[in-house]
Amino acid sequence: MSSTTPIYGFPFWVLSDSPDGPSGQQALALALEAKIAAMDAILNAQIATRFKGTSRPAADDVIGTGETIMMEKVTFTAVAGRPYLVVHTDDYAIASGAPTAQTWNYRYASGATLTTAGTLLQQFVGPPPSAAHATDTRTTVFTAPSSGQFTIGCGYFTNGGATVRHYANGRHLTVVDIT
């Protein structure tokens, strides 16, 4: 084989080469494997540095009309001005009453403690929960206002005197650096 592709240098046959299919296939396979291995190493390094944390609760939350910070929270070190993707999946159903709406308040605070006094990042007002399990995912972006440690979590509440059970086995909150 006397030719290679211009960008990655993958070998290929041209008409003036003597035919040798097995050698050509082996050369191409080895070149592809080496390139994929190099790209895999780069991706794994990026994932390791970009992933900031995830949290899965160990027990169910039962939340009513007063905003309560859910158990899943992520504390991480942020860089000023850098965007972080927040992904939250929840599995929930009505525990009692008949709410006509539910609200998720994604909040953050400096340090390792988060309360309902934390800064509101994003609010999602959803349709009323049902008696059957519902699983959904919400995303938002947190841009760090300064460098340092932050905690991100979700405050939840309903209306109508109802309570909602958030099942531990179907919930998680993840934060990823998306710069």
Q: What is the pTM of this model?
A: 0.74
Give yes or no: residues 91 and 44 share one domain.
no
SS in 3 state form for 24-54?
HHHHHHHHHHHHHHHHHHHHHHHHHHHEEEE
Tell me: the pLDDT tens digits for 53-90?
889 999 999 999 999 999 999 999 999 999 999 999 99
pLDDT band at 22 (very low <50, low <70, confident <90, very high): confident
According to the model, what pLDDT value does residue 46 have?
65
Q: How far apart are CA 32 and CA 53, in angstroms?
A: 33
Is residue 165 predicted with pLDDT exceeding 70? yes
Structural domain that includes position 46? 3-50
Give yes or no: residues 43 and 62 share one domain.
no
The pLDDT of 109-113, averaged and rounded, is 97
According to the model, what pLDDT value does residue 9 have?
87
How does the average pLDDT of the chain come out, rounded?
A: 91
Give yes or no: residues 27 and 62 share one domain.
no
Give yes or no: residues 172 and 139 share one domain.
yes
Give yes or no: residues 111 and 33 share one domain.
no
Is residue 177 predicted with pLDDT exceeding 90? yes
The pLDDT of 146-171, averaged and rounded, is 94
Q: Which of 46, 119, 56 is nearest to 87 (CA)?
A: 56
Give yes or no: residues 33 and 62 share one domain.
no
- Total tally of structural domains belonging to the chain: 2
According to the model, what pLDDT value does residue 14 have?
85
Give yes or no: residues 61 and 119 share one domain.
yes
* Percent of the chain whose pLDDT exceeds 70: 96
Q: How far apart are CA 35 and CA 22, in angstroms?
A: 20
Tell me the residue length of the chain: 179
According to the model, what pLDDT value does residue 150 have?
98
Give yes or no: residues 97 and 154 share one domain.
yes
pLDDT band at 48 (very low <50, low <70, confident <90, very high): low
pLDDT band at 123 (very low <50, low <70, confident <90, very high): very high
Give yes or no: residues 154 and 85 share one domain.
yes
Give yes or no: residues 65 and 29 share one domain.
no
